[in-house]
C-alpha cells in the first residue's frame, strides 16, 4: 500500500473517531436540552463523560436486556460487574462519576434505552446539591427520567434508591437530602412500576449523615457499604425474577405440616379485620386478588405498596385450637414493617434494627433470612428470632388462624410450618 493511500485511510479513521466521539460529548450550552439545573462542564468531567459513553456505544449489542444500574460516581465505583454482587444476572453499569440528574436525562436514550433493559436501578441526585440545585429541580428531572423509562417499557421494573446520606462538609446537608427523597417519593407514589428502596435510612446515622465506617470520605461507600446496598437490593431483584429463580431445597421436619406450598396461596385468604369472617380465598392462585401477596419460587412475598404504606392481612383458612409450634423464616428490605398473627394478636415482624421494636438483637441479620419460632402452650406464646427471645409471655386466644401483615417495604416469608402438640 502506497503512502498516499495509508494517509487517506488514517485520515478517514481519525475523522470517524472524532465524529463518533463528538456525538457523546457534553453539549456546549444548555439551549434546547431537556430538564433543568446543573450540567457539569469541568474539563475532567467532560473527558470522563465522553470516554465512558463512547465506550458504552460499542457494547450496545452485548448489553441488550441487561439490568441497568444508572447513576453517578457511587454507581460507577461499584465496577463494571457491580462487584460480582448479583451472580448470574446480566448487568450493565451506566454510572458516571460527577453526573447530575440532568446529565442522566440527556444521556438516557443512548446509554440506557438503547439496551432495552429488563430493569433499571437508579441512584442519582447528590451531585446536584453540590452544584446548588434545589430539591424541587432535582425531583423535576427525576420525574422526566422515570417518564422516559416508562414510555420505553411500561412493564419494566424500576427500583428507585433513596439518595444516600452524606454531610454538610460535602455541601450535601441532611435536610436537603431528606427533602429530595420526600419529593422523589411524591413523584412516583402510587406507581406500581416503581419500587422505592429506603437506602437513606439504611446508611444514615442519628443526625442523618453518612457514617465514616461505611463512607470514609462521607460521600462514597467502601466495600462494606456496597455489600449493604447489594443486600438491600437482592430481595427486590428476587421478586422481579432476576435472582433466586428456584425454590430452596428445604425438607420439613418430622411432625411438622407446611402451611405454604411455595407455588401458590392455597390455604390462605383474606378475612374481615374486625369479625375475622373469611372474605376471599386464594386456593390455586399465585397471588391475592390485589397482587399484594404473591407466591414466588418458594417464598410468600408481601410486596412494597406503591402508596408507601398500606396495612393488609393474609390469613390461613385453617384455625389452630391445639397447642403448637410455629416456625417460619422472613426477610425484610430496609425499614420494612410487617407482623405475624398468632391466632389473632400480632407479633411484630420487621427489619428490627431499623424499625424496632427490638433494635438490640445480636443475631438478627439485616436483609437476610431470619427464623421466628413461636411455641404456643395454654394461651401463651414463647417467641424467638434466631434463638433470641422477642416475647416470652405473648398472650394469645384459645383458637384462631395464623396471619401475615403487610405495611411498608417488602417482606418475604418461607418454610412456614406448624407442629401440633398433644
Judge whether residue 7 has pLDDT over 80.
no
Angle at which helices 174-188 and 135-152 pack, to 10 degrees?
30
Q: What architecture does CATH give domain 257-420?
A: Sandwich (2.60)
Q: What percentage of the chain reaches a pLDDT higher than 70? A: 95
pLDDT at residue number 2: 52
Judge whether residue 179 has pLDDT over 50.
yes
Is the CA virtual torsion 283, 287, 292, 298 positive or negative? positive
Rounded Cα–Cα distance for residues 376 and 333 (Å): 28
pLDDT at residue number 422: 80
Residues 75-89 have a mean pLDDT of 97
pTM of the model: 0.93
CATH number of the structural domain 13-239: 3.40.50.1110
Residues 2-15 have a mean pLDDT of 42
Per-domain boundaries in the chain: 13-239, 257-420
pLDDT at residue number 82: 97
Please say whether the beta carbons of 300 and 412 come within 8 A.
yes
The model's pLDDT over 256-298, given as tens digits with 9 standing for 90+, comes to 999 999 999 999 999 998 899 999 999 999 999 999 999 999 9
Rounded Cα–Cα distance for residues 395 and 376 (Å): 9
The model's pLDDT over 314-361, given as tens digits with 9 standing for 90+, comes to 999 999 999 999 999 999 999 999 999 999 999 999 999 999 999 999
Please say whether the beta carbons of 94 and 111 come within 8 A.
yes
In the structure grid, which three cell numbers stand for residue 366, read together?
A: 439485616
The model's pLDDT over 120-161, given as tens digits with 9 standing for 90+, comes to 999 999 999 999 999 999 999 999 999 999 999 999 999 999
Amino acid at each position: 500500500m502506497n503512502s498516499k493511500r495509508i494517509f487517506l485511510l488514517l485520515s478517514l479513521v481519525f475523522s470517524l473517531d472524532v465524529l463518533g466521539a463528538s456525538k457523546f460529548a457534553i453539549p456546549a450550552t444548555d439551549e434546547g436540552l431537556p430538564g433543568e439545573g446543573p450540567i457539569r462542564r469541568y474539563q475532567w468531567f467532560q473527558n470522563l463523560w465522553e470516554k465512558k459513553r463512547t465506550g458504552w456505544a460499542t457494547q450496545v449489542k452485548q448489553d441488550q436486556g441487561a439490568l441497568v444500574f444508572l447513576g453517578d460516581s457511587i454507581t460507577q465505583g461499584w465496577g463494571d460487574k457491580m462487584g460480582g454482587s448479583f451472580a448470574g444476572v446480566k448487568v450493565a453499569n451506566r454510572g458516571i462519576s460527577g453526573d447530575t440528574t440532568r446529565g442522566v436525562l440527556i444521556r438516557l436514550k443512548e446509554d440506557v434505552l438503547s439496551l432495552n433493559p429488563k430493569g433499571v436501578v437508579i441512584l442519582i441526585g447528590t451531585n446536584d446539591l453540590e452544584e446548588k440545585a434545589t430539591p424541587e429541580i432535582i425531583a423535576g428531572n427525576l420525574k422526566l427520567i422515570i417518564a422516559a423509562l416508562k414510555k420505553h417499557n411500561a412493564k419494566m421494573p424500576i427500583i428507585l434508591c433513596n439518595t444516600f446520606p452524606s454531610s454538610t462538609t460535602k455541601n450535601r446537608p441532611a435536610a436537603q437530602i431528606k427533602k429530595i427523597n420526600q419529593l422523589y417519593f411524591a413523584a412516583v407514589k402510587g406507581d406500581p412500576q416503581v419500587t422505592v428502596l429506603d437506602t437513606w435510612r439504611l446508611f444514615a446515622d442519628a443526625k442523618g449523615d453518612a457514617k465514616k465506617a461505611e463512607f470514609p470520605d462521607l460521600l462514597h461507600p467502601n466495600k462494606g457499604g456496597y455489600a449493604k446496598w447489594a443486600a438491600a437490593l437482592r430481595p427486590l431483584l428476587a421478586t422481579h425474577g432476576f435472582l433466586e429463580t428456584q425454590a430452596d431445597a428445604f425438607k420439613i421436619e418430622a411432625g411438622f405440616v407446611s402451611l405454604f406450598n411455595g407455588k401458590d396461596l392455597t390455604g390462605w385468604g383474606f378475612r374481615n379485620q374486625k369479625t375475622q369472617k373469611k372474605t376471599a380465598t386464594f386456593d390455586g392462585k399465585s397471588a391475592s386478588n390485589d397482587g399484594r401477596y404473591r407466591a414466588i419460587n418458594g417464598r410468600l412475598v408481601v410486596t412494597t405498596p406503591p402508596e408507601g404504606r398500606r396495612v393488609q392481612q393474609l390469613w390461613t383458612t385453617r384455625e389452630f385450637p391445639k397447642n403448637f409450634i410455629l416456625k417460619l423464616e422472613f426477610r425484610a428490605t430496609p425499614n420494612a414493617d410487617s407482623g405475624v398473627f398468632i391466632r389473632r394478636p400480632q407479633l411484630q415482624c420487621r427489619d428490627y434494627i431499623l424499625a424496632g421494636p427490638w433494635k438490640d438483637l445480636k443475631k438478627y441479620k439485616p436483609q437476610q433470612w431470619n427464623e421466628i419460632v413461636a411455641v404456643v402452650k395454654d394461651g401463651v406464646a414463647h417467641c424467638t428470632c434466631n434463638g433470641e427471645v422477642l416475647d416470652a409471655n405473648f398472650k394469645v386466644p384459645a383458637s384462631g388462624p395464623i396471619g401475615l401483615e403487610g405495611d411498608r417495604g417488602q417482606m418475604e416469608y418461607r418454610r412456614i410450618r406448624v407442629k401440633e402438640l398433644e
